[in-house]
Amino acid sequence: MKQRGVNRVTMAVWDLEKGKDFYARLLGAEFQPVNDTEAEAYGVRCSIAWNAGIELVSPVEGRESRIRTLLEERGEGLAGVIFAVEDVDETKRQGEAAEIPVLAGLDYTQAQIDEHLQGRFTKYKEYFFGAGDPLGPGVVVGEFEEPSDD
């Protein structure tokens, strides 16, 4: 498995709009909407600033979620790191062989990439791993291919 670096960090915030404003003013982050239906299935709302490498997540009011628990126990801050790898399925197999549980997976079709990620990729596939302490930073690995400039 070849690691390609950090794709982005996930920051947990109580108020998504205030978080977006903070990082926009501080870092010039340009936040894009994501698939709200999918995010809400996990009890969160989120937005990504690809130019700053930040994904913000906030809990949906009245819903239980890992992010709500993390915020209640530890406050706002780092919720996870998304590592880019060359072969996400091989990384998943390595994690499973090391008895690191896969909590969830995400594999977008090109239509979903176009709709929810502004067509930024030609492949977008992630696995969310349980890394021990369930309230510590989450570990996500993903394979992200960008369109060629041809």
Q: Is residue 135 part of a domain?
A: yes
Write the pLDDT tens digit of every residue in 25-69: 999 999 987 877 778 888 899 999 999 999 999 999 989 888 999
| Average pLDDT of the residues in 5-9 | 91
* CA–CA separation, 64 and 20 (whole Å): 22
Q: Is residue 81 part of a domain?
A: yes
**Highest mean pLDDT: which of 36-45, 76-85, 127-136?**
76-85
Which one is predicted more confidently, 53 or 118?
53
Number of domain units in the chain: 1
Q: Is residue 150 part of a domain?
A: no
- For the entire predicted model, the pTM comes to 0.84
Domain encompassing residue 137: 3-145
CATH classification at residue 60? 3.10.180.10
CA of residue 85 relative to chain centroid, distance: 14
